Amino acid sequence: MRCLSTRTLIGRHWYNRGTMSGRSPGLLSLLDSHSPALTVPLGSARLSSLLIAALVVITALPATLHGQILGHLPDASPYTDVDSPRELAIFGGYFLASKDLAGVAPGPSPVIGLRETLHLAGPAIAFFRLTHTFSDRTVIDPLDPASTRDQGRISDPITIADMNLGFNFSGDRSVDNFQPAINIGVGGASDLGAPHDIGGYRFGTVAVLTYGGGIRWVPPGRLSIRLNIDNYMYEHTYPKLYHTITGDGTSVISTAHSLVAWRNNGMYTLGFSYAIHHH
């Protein structure tokens, strides 16, 4: 098919080939000799214009949609500043203690506790927590055979103190009155001097590594509610008698296994906080 006429498109103007009209003849000559893609038949001019218009629309569309999605009128914004540089809280929940190697450690129980939270800067927080469990545990006599080893259960509550650094995902604001956060910390757990049992075991005092997360509901005012899920890692240390092989050929813990073992223990808590302002 023979094209009756060809013209070169630059900007919004058409130029005849070989004509040096326009403001940039040098650029026109360069495009005319080295950019055949810009030389189109006269009948394709309308198609080219439509393609250029479509590209402009496609380029501008994401910015337009972004403005529509992220823009909010002040009264309709989901973000609310949270003024709580310091919080005091009381909480309750449940301690999901893992079954330990010998089956003698303090077990699952309800918990109560106190928490103080400090807002450091931006999304950073620090908090100190004191938790008391109402655990009990099994007492065993490691010198008895397996069938008569169990001596019943006794109360053995644990007190856990830990300090954590946290990160509020929404910074010092809430989103629709909610503030999600994560935390990591260290501390200690203790039976506060409980005596050894007949088999020589006691929980004692151990180091704790903790991490978790939660979400805080912050309505207008000073009161808020926080739901937390945390994991507490600590070790159990057993007396040497637990390696004793009894008359039935068994021992509390296999002699091939260490007398020290770490366990993960979960905790779910729901707390009520009161914000203390500086002014």
Output the CA–CA distances (angstroms, integers) from residue 203 to 36, 94, 103, 190, in the order listed: 85, 19, 12, 7
Where exactly are the structural domains of the chain?
A: 6-71, 84-276
pLDDT at 17: 46
Q: How many CA atoms lie within 13 A of 89 on its CB side?
A: 28
DSSP states of the chain as a string? ---S-EEEEETTEEEETT---SS-HHHHHHHHHH-GGGEEEGGGHHHHHHHHHHHHHHHHHHHHHHHHHH---GGG-SEEE---SEEEEEEEEEEEPPP-SSS-S---EEEEEEEEEEEEETTEEEEEEEEEE--EEEEE-TTS-GGG-EEEEEE---EEEEEEEEEETTTTEEETTEEEEEEEEEEEEE-SSPPP-TTS----EEEEEEEEEEEEE--SSSEEEEEEEEEEEEEEE--GGGG---TTS--SS-TTS-SEEEEEEEEEEEEEEEEE---
pLDDT at 49: 60
pLDDT at 176: 85
Length of the chain: 279
Write out the chain's pLDDT in tens, 279 residues: 444 444 444 444 444 444 444 444 444 444 444 444 444 444 445 544 654 554 454 444 444 444 444 545 556 678 787 777 899 999 999 999 999 999 999 999 999 999 999 999 989 999 999 999 999 999 999 999 999 999 999 999 999 999 999 999 988 787 888 999 999 999 999 999 999 999 999 999 999 999 999 999 999 889 999 999 999 999 999 999 999 999 999 999 999 999 999 999 999 999 999 998 755
pLDDT at 44: 44
Q: What is the token pair recorded at 23? A: 């403001």
pLDDT at 175: 85
Question: Burial, 111: exposed, middle or buried (Cβ in 10 Å; 0-12, 13-18, 19+)?
Answer: buried
pLDDT at 68: 46
Instruction: Please state, in angstroms and rounded to a whole number, the distance separating the CA atoms of residues 192 and 162.
Output: 15
Closest to 129 (Cα-Cα) out of 194, 203, 208, 206: 208
Output the CA–CA distances (angstroms, integers) from residue 274 to 218, 268, 269, 277, in the order listed: 10, 20, 16, 10
Decide if domain 84-276 falls under CATH 2.40.160.20. yes
